[in-house]
């Protein structure tokens, strides 16, 4: 199965794909990166059926099963298959809405079963150890403390952290405005500790030679004077985790997962966590906010009446 796109597509297919891209960006309000990912999935589909000599209007559910089987034969991982099939289903829903097809063969196309992988969670002590590993004598030291506290305090995605602007801070109200997936905005409470670290950082930020156009962004590179990148945050977290002697697989997303897990363990309402994380579906929040099994067992042993020793 080729993955080189739609270079051999007919003019009719190209027109349909252009309308689909507009649908993703304008009607579904997806980000450019997400829309391009969907287009890449459809590109694989088009290439496959062009080779098979099957037109878009003639594709059946059995044909789609053949496409899914071909992905497996090529050794594409189940998780990647699931993502591609999700894009294919979206495309056929559009073809039906657009009037190109009267049916939707993708509606009954199932994704491969994927075992849930629960990422590592940092304890509060481990987060403190990472913060202690920051060298405050370095120009970026205070900025890094502020970034980690903000990620953990607000449960931010790394992209959300990098895109934060000065105007997104509401320190008196104790909130930060976050722009998430699909450019959707939400207000998230921010801790007093994170606000304190940001305030200390802002006293140093004024000494950065900021490049034109970068002034609105909160977290900047001291060397380049531009907004920090996701790669910079990833490298910073990996370096600090190693210095703190933590052997878990830690990434910026680990702080988001730890945020949600700690809230749930502390008794926070799942719907409130869902709103703070910016999840559309509660099922997504449930995956992120699992309760540590060993802690759950300890709680049961300690509090369940059948486990309490009986005085004789």
Q: Write out the catalytic residue numbers.
A: 157, 181, 253, 256, 279, 288
184 to each of 90, 173, 179, 277, 301, how far by Cα in Å?
20, 21, 6, 12, 43
Other C-beta atoms within 10 Å of 156: how many? 28
- Distance, in Å, from the CA atom of 307 to the CA atom of 76, rounded to the nearest integer, reads 47
Dihedral angle of Cα 57, 63, 68, 74, to the nearest 10 degrees: -100
Per DSSP bridges, beta strands 185-189 and 175-179 are: antiparallel
- Distance, in Å, from the CA atom of 309 to the CA atom of 219, rounded to the nearest integer, reads 55
Short-list 99, 95, 74, 71, CA closest to 85: 71
């Amino acid at each position: 199965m080729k993955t080189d796109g739609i270079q051999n597509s007919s003019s009719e297919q190209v027109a349909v794909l252009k309308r689909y891209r507009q649908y993703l960006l304008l009607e579904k309000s997806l980000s450019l990166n997400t829309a391009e990912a969907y287009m890449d999935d459809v590109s694989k589909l088009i290439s496959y059926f062009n080779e098979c000599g099957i037109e878009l209007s003639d594709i059946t559910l059995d044909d789609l099963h053949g496409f899914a089987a071909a992905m497996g034969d090529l050794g594409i991982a189940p998780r990647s298959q699931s993502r591609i099939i999700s894009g294919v289903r979206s495309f056929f829903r559009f073809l039906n809405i657009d009037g190109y097809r009267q049916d939707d063969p993708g509606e009954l196309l199932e994704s491969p079963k994927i075992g849930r992988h629960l990422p590592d969670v940092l304890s509060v002590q481990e987060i403190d150890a990472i913060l202690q590993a920051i060298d405050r004598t370095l120009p970026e030291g205070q900025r890094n403390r502020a970034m980690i506290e903000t990620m953990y305090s607000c449960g931010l995605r790394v992209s959300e952290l990098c895109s934060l602007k000065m105007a997104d801070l509401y320190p008196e109200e104790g909130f930060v405005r976050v722009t998430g997936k699909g450019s959707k905005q939400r207000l998230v409470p921010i801790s007093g500790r994170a606000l304190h670290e940001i305030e200390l950082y802002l006293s140093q930020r004024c000494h950065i030679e900021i490049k034109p156009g970068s002034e609105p962004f909160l977290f900047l590179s001291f060397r380049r004077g531009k907004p920090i990148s996701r790669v910079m945050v990833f490298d910073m977290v990996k370096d600090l985790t190693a210095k703190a002697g933590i052997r878990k697989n830690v990434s910026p997303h680990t702080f988001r997962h730890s945020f949600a897990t700690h809230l749930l363990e502390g008794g926070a309402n799942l719907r409130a966590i869902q709103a703070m994380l910016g999840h559309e579906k509660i099922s997504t929040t449930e995956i992120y906010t699992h309760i540590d099994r060993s802690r759950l067992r300890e709680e049961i042993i300690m509090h369940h009446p059948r486990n309490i020793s009986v005085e004789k």
